């Protein structure tokens, strides 16, 4: 699968593939609504749950008199609190909370280990607070790239693994990282024992596109930028819902296939997944929309072909697919699909950096309204006659 990659990029692409596989596979979990009580959250009785978190199910916010709690829900059970962050300005509160991080805010510097989080920090005008990233190879943001070149921003995970010693030497006020929710499995033991607060972002496990975008509120809380985050999210929400509304009455809803086969399996998004929501909100008829999975379904080529051979459109091909020839280099049988024959292939790599990584995985995940606009333009171009695609391009 990686035979076309240059040798010096192999480690970077392997890490990228690991991230994508986590996004594709996801983790099924019990629904967590914002009607839960503070007792269920195992927080002090003096805090009040913040009901402005509308879509996100993997974190909650509770407000105390002179502090704020951020609660992360890990693993498969939404009542399973994996981490608690007690944020305070001046006087550290004395609470009966075990294994909680107490953090004085605003945080002065952060190791932000994903381009998605850095995109949200940029939206909050906090790029200058980023002291470290994982690898600049993933980035299209010129401020981040220049920061690494100047030495202001350090790379602490150039390969697949975090450089523990370098991280400990930097000692950031906060590490924001990708994971599956269990600090004991996601975080190196030396870092866990160093007293550096580590926040494992679970945005990639959210089901709804707006839920993922709402994680800007989680990040903003560490910098006391909640009002700005609320304002930015409200704009995204308003735009998304407007676009969805104009698609609600379309008569023709094209059928859609996504992804390609990785190794022995073709991971198609489940019916309750981020991508399924996005496609259906764009006025499409996603082939596996009735499936109940929040993650992805590992299917064989033959299973996908049986269900999707006549699909009208095919989206989200592999990162380095820029032509039909590229696609056929993975499997010549792809030319059997109607979308291939009818030139209805679109990939999310319109703009890529020098290492081939698309801005889709950087700013797109934080801007579902812009992704939705792109997909509407592909399926129903007459609805947005003046709009030009931002993330997607047609594959010929």
Number of domains into which the chain is organized? 2
Peptide bond connecting 382 to the previous residue in cis, omega within 30 degrees of 0 = no
Q: Is residue 311 part of a domain?
A: yes
Structural tokens at position 125 = 């005008």
Neighbours of 56 (CB within 10 A): 25
118 and 208 co-located in one domain: yes
In this prediction, residue 11 carries a pLDDT of 39
Q: Consecutive 10-residue runs of the chain (396 residues): their mean pLDDT?
A: 36 44 39 39 62 90 91 67 88 84 95 95 98 95 97 90 93 91 83 90 90 96 97 98 95 97 94 95 96 92 98 95 97 98 98 92 93 98 97 98
Instruction: With beta carbons less than 8 A apart as the criterion, state whether 32 and 82 touch.
Output: no
Q: Is residue 12 domain-shared with residue 108, that is, in the same domain?
A: no
Q: What is the CATH number of the domain that holds 331?
A: 3.40.50.1980
201 DSSP 8-state letter:
E
On whether the CB atoms of residues 89 and 112 are closer than 8 A, the answer is: no
Residue 38 lies in a domain: no
| Terminal Cα distance for the chain, rounded | 21
Residues 257 and 200 in one domain: no
Q: Does residue 242 sit within a domain?
A: no
pLDDT at 13: 41
- Confirm if 177 and 199 have CB atoms less than 8 A apart: yes
Q: In this structure, are 55 and 187 located in the same domain? A: yes
Q: Are residues 111 and 200 in the same domain?
A: yes
User: Hey, what long-range contacts does 80-86 have (CB within 8 A, 24 or more apart)?
Assistant: 80/181, 81/41, 81/42, 82/181, 82/182, 82/183, 82/200, 83/183, 83/198, 83/199, 83/200, 84/43, 85/197, 85/199, 85/222
Please report whether residue 37 resides in a domain. Answer: no
Coil, strand or helix: which one is 154?
A: strand
* Residue range(s) defining the domain that contains residue 19: 7-25+248-394
CA atoms within 13 A on the CB side of 279: 27
199 and 107 within one domain:
yes
Supply the pTM of this predicted model.
Answer: 0.87
Residues 57 and 172 placed together within one structural domain of the fold: yes
Contact 26, 269 (CB under 8 A): no
Q: Residue 45 — left, alpha, or beta (φ > 0 → left; ψ -120 to 50 → alpha)?
A: alpha
Residue 225: inside a domain, yes or no? Answer: no
As beta bridge partners, residue 276 has none
Same domain, 315 and 377: yes
35 in a structural domain? no
> Of 246, 249, 210, 241, nearest to 385 (Cα)?
246
Task: Give the CA angle between residues 102, 105, 111 to the nearest 5°.
Answer: 85
């Amino acid at each position: 699968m990686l035979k076309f990659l240059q040798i010096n990029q192999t480690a970077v692409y392997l890490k990228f593939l690991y991230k994508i596989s986590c996004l594709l596979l996801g983790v099924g979990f019990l629904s967590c609504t914002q009607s839960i009580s503070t007792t269920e959250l195992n927080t002090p009785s003096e805090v009040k749950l913040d009901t402005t978190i509308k879509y996100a199910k993997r974190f909650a916010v509770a407000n105390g008199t002179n502090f704020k709690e951020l609660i992360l829900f890990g693993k498969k059970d939404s009542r399973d609190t994996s981490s608690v962050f007690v944020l305070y300005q001046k006087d550290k509160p004395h609470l009966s909370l075990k294994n909680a991080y107490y953090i004085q805010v605003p945080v002065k510097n952060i190791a932000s280990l994903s381009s998605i989080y850095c995109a949200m920090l940029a939206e909050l005008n906090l790029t200058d607070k980023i002291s470290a990233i994982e690898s600049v190879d993933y980035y299209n943001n010129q401020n981040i790239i220049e920061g690494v070149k100047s030495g202001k921003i350090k790379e602490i995970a150039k390969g697949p693994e975090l450089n523990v010693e370098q991280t400990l030497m930097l000692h950031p006020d906060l590490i924001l990282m990708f994971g599956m929710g269990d600090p004991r499995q996601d975080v190196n033991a030396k870092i866990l024992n160093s007293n550096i607060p580590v926040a494992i972002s679970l945005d990639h496990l959210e089901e709804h596109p707006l839920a993922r975008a709402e994680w800007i509120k989680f990040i903003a809380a560490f910098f006391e930028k909640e009002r700005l985050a609320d304002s930015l999210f409200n704009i995204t929400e308003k735009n998304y819902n407007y676009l969805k509304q104009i698609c609600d009455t379309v008569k023709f809803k094209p059928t859609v296939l996504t992804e390609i086969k990785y190794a022995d399996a073709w991971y198609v998004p489940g019916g309750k997944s981020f991508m399924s929501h996005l496609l259906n909100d764009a006025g499409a008829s996603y082939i596996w929309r009735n499936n109940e999975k929040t993650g992805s379904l590992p299917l064989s080529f033959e299973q996908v072909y049986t269900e999707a051979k006549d699909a009208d459109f095919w989206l989200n091909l592999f990162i380095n697919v820029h032509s039909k020839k590229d696609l056929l280099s993975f499997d010549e049988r792809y030319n059997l699909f109607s979308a291939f024959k009818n030139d209805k292939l679109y990939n999310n790599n319109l703009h890529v950096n020098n290492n081939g990584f698309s801005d889709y995985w950087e700013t797109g995940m934080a801007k579902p309204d812009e992704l939705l606009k792109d997909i509407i333009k592909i399926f129903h171009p007459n609805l947005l006659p003046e709009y030009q695609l931002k993330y997607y391009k047609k594959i010929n």
